[in-house]
Structure 1
Amino acid sequence: MSSNKDPLLTDLKGIILKLRSEDKPITDHHFELQNLCECFEKIFRKGLKNPGSLFGLYKRDYWSWIESLPSYTFNERLNPLFSIALEECRTSQKVRTHQGRGRLFIRIALTKKILSVALEHLVMNPKLTEYWYKPELSIIGNEVYIESLMSLLFLITEIKFDLNVKNASFLDETWMMAVMKQFELVPCKDLGVFIKHINGKAVVAEVEPGSVAEENNKIEVGDVFDELFGENLHGASKGKIPRLIRDHEGWPIYVTVVKCYMKNGRVYPPIYERLLCIKEEMPEFEVPQDRLPGSQHPESLGNGAQPPELASDGSTIYRLKYVGNVNVGEDGGTYIIESAISKVMEVSGTNEDKFKPVSLHLGETKVAIMSPENGDIIFQHSYPEISSCGRRLDAVNYFAYVAGDTSCTISKNFICYVFYANAEAESRTILRNIAQGFGRTTWFV
């Protein structure tokens, strides 16, 4: 395959190879799923023409041409699953933008193994392809690249995706998937929750102790009511929830919520932004914080360490020092970390006062090193680029991670980045959280 001719195809191939090695179905919370979807979106947008409407009233996206395909398939019979997916995206009340509908289509198409169907119908009509894509800038409009892309899409059909396509209420805003839970609560006239409607979402601002909702912490502050008795609540009026409860009086209460906390213990970023809005309206409101190791008990980080902070995008911020880096060649395994840290220490010395203060941001998809003075990014790496992390056992405040110049499965050039933590427990906590981020990457402490 000629996937190495375009970086996006190279990245896509690396992600697919990782997913094909999995024994279990790929779920919403697999660490590579967001990378896969973002890569597809970049490919679909690369070289996309944006003719817009006659008076520029709306901006088109890749969903625009996907939605229009039935109008151009006069002589071909559309795949029934493709037609069903289109209708589901068109009628969904959980997405309101072209971006959201396009993302929902990608998730449904992965589940139904029909992502290639849309492209097949498009490239079957060269004039239609040229209408939507610039041949010199796009992958889809390029005869060589589209062949490589179709080959990769064939490999995708060998992967089983078990995605909850109902988990779509934040696709207008992000590819990051939240935790969605469904509960059956006992019949009652009052759930015991105080709801604030913020930017189209019904956010739980208060849970009454001893209430039906509070039982076993099913409903927590920060959770978002997504469905009630099967009815969508996205963009719902303030009176819809109490009206539905009145209409179903005496029935068990079936509620679906988007949880405030993700599986890694961090507050879901789109919800966090709404919680800050509630704080502005209600100064006494306590904004939920990340449930991370050491974040709730500063003393557990060790002497000299400060508890991590929470950025507006949901990433966790650690204040520490950057020692330096060293090129370690073609192998980014854990066994090189101790010697790499020694090499950096030989050059930089051991006086931590001379090391560069930085902010290390641990996000859902990447690690970013920023200047604490102006917030500029010094360097950053996505988790697929990180091959290993660890520290020296005889200098435990020093830790490092190794990253390639592209996805670590295909990179031929790795660099080890070395940091100095404020305490031993802090370096251990950061390493554990990095390892959780990139899942299968090896690490040691």
Structure 2
Amino acid sequence: MILRKGIKQPVLGFKRRDYWHWIEQLPHQVTHRSMTRLSIMIEKTNSCEKVLRVQGRGRYFLRQALNGKLLAVTIQQLVRSPRLLEWYDPVTSILGNEDFLEPFLSMMLVVTEMSFSLDEQNSSFLDESWQLPVCLTYETVPCRELGMVLRYLDGRIFIIDLLPQSQAEVDEVVLVGDVIDEINGFSLRNACNGQAGTVLQKLKGKPLSFQIIRWKWHDGGLYKPLLPYLKVIQEQIPNFQLQHKHGHKEENVGRILQGGRLLYNLRYLGQVNVGKHGGKEVLDHGIPMVLDKHLPPQEVLFDVKETEVLVQQKISSKQVLFHYSYTDISCVGRRLDSNNLFAFCIVASPETPEHSSFDCLVFQSNSEEESEEIVRRIAVGFKHTEWFV
């Protein structure tokens, strides 16, 4: 790497120099007005809880500098500081050689004209690798027990099991082998034993948002920097196995990933008013009433969230068509003679319940299994929201 090439190492001393060491000294060596933004970026790097080593801090800073178009400014400030520039050998380095420095700086100015949008939050493995893991967000309701069995290993929190019928298993977001990176913005990098439980206790009764590092990489294989950790876990727990898919999902056919969530790709067939009663028995005639209208199916993305059901258009701007909390839904189910169809009833006018009636909304899924899965997840939503609403 150019920034590391040719750095002179001290003859005596245990601290090995890296490019981050001179970068963090720039605010003390240079007083140029362009240092303001750079100083803020350096301070942000030093305060980042997710990078612990010099190598990680350097990588984190470079990603920020690309996003903020400050990479060329960083090199220019180095040039303005002869004391720091002396760190580079003029023979073996690029930055310490005048003939090479000028074209390199010109190239950095060209890079400054480019726009980068690098994920700065996904930084917990920059100490080990430039290769970043797959990250996703797991949002869930406050509940008595999430059902994730955790193992702490070298400052990382691994999910080593999911309890049957627990909230975490039902939500079908995390997999055994994943790493918990954050809870509601609290970084758990370099976590000590029991720290996740302490954070959860402070957040008792509040909705939870987990940042999860997936054990699988983009190609479906193992994310390589996790291998040393997983080997240790396998030695400690001989029957430990990585979870490749969720128990109720044979394949994610017809699913779309959006914002770290898998959404169902369905067809909305329409809705009909079924009168003053919203029990599950009305579905038997509500579904045929919608089908008899012969309305054109509408492609939608269907999200069974932790506290609500959200439906948005698949095309155009993904406009939200409607969303209903579980307290607004009176029943959910499907007819046995229409395997791919399911429906749920909602209160037509929740603001005036004494005069309200119920609407039946009908959807077509891609398979009988998918239809069953959606109905089951909505039904579980009733169960897990009932006690805290």
TM range (shorter): 0.5 to 0.7
Asked if the contact 1:189/1:246 (under 8 Å) is kept, the reply is: no
1:236-278, Cα deviation, whole Å (9 max, x unpaired): 1221111222221111111111111112111111223211111
Pairing 1:131-142 to 2, within 5 Å after superposition: 132-142=87-97
Asked if the contact 1:189/1:245 (under 8 Å) is kept, the reply is: no
Residue 269 of structure 1 pairs with residue 224 of structure 2: yes
3-state secondary structure, aligned to 2:152? strand
Partner of 1:107: 63
The residue identity in structure 2 corresponding to 1:92 is C
Residue of 261, 281, 285 corresponding to 2:236: 281
Partner of 1:227: 182
Percent identical pairs in the alignment equals: 38
CA distance in 2, matches of 1:274, 1:217: 24
3-state secondary structure, aligned to 2:133? coil
3-state secondary structure, aligned to 2:222? coil
How far off is 1:114 after superposition?
0.4
How far off is 1:215 after superposition?
3.2
3-state secondary structure, aligned to 2:215? coil
1:72-120, Cα deviation, whole Å (9 max, x unpaired): 114x224332112101111111111111100100111111110111110
Partner of 1:67: 24
The residue identity in structure 1 corresponding to 2:197 is P
Pairing 1:4-403 to 2, within 5 Å after superposition: 42-51=1-10, 56-74=13-31, 76-130=32-86, 132-287=87-242
3-state secondary structure, aligned to 1:205? strand
**Cα root mean square deviation, aligned:** 1.9
Asked if the contact 1:279/1:287 (under 8 Å) is kept, the reply is: no
Asked if the contact 1:200/1:235 (under 8 Å) is kept, the reply is: yes
3-state secondary structure, aligned to 1:214? helix
How far off is 1:126 after superposition?
3.2
CA distance in 1, matches of 2:244, 2:147: 22
CA distance in 1, matches of 2:228, 2:17: 27
CA distance in 2, matches of 1:215, 1:153: 49
CA distance in 2, matches of 1:49, 1:244: 44
1:293-348, Cα deviation, whole Å (9 max, x unpaired): xxxxxxxxxxxxxxxxxxxxxxxxxxxxxxxxxxxxxxxxxxxxxxxxxxxxxxxx
Asked if the contact 2:60/2:120 (under 8 Å) is kept, the reply is: yes
How far off is 1:188 after superposition?
1.2
Query: Which stretch has the larger CA shift, 214-223 or 281-290?
Result: 281-290
Partner of 1:407: none
3-state secondary structure, aligned to 1:165? coil
Structure label with greater radius of gyration: 2
Asked if the contact 1:266/1:289 (under 8 Å) is kept, the reply is: no
3-state secondary structure, aligned to 1:45? coil
CA distance in 2, matches of 1:99, 1:245: 31
Asked if the contact 1:224/1:259 (under 8 Å) is kept, the reply is: yes
Q: Which runs of 5+ in 1 are unaligned?
A: 1-41, 291-445
CA distance in 1, matches of 2:26, 2:133: 31
Asked if the contact 1:195/1:203 (under 8 Å) is kept, the reply is: yes
Partner of 1:439: none
CA distance in 2, matches of 1:222, 1:120: 44
- CA shift in 2, pair 1:184/1:289, >3 Å: closer
CA distance in 2, matches of 1:272, 1:85: 32
Partner of 2:343: none
Asked if the contact 2:30/2:80 (under 8 Å) is kept, the reply is: no
How far off is 1:288 after superposition?
5.4
The residue identity in structure 1 corresponding to 2:132 is M
How far off is 1:210 after superposition?
2.5
3-state secondary structure, aligned to 1:204? strand
CA distance in 1, matches of 2:37, 2:139: 31
Name the TM-score, length of structure 2 as normaliser.
0.60
- CA shift in 2, pair 1:145/1:47, >3 Å: same
- CA shift in 2, pair 1:57/1:189, >3 Å: farther
Aligned residues: 246
CA distance in 2, matches of 1:125, 1:252: 50
Runs of 4 or more consecutive aligned structure 1 residues displaced over 6 Å after TM superposition: none
How far off is 1:68 after superposition?
0.6
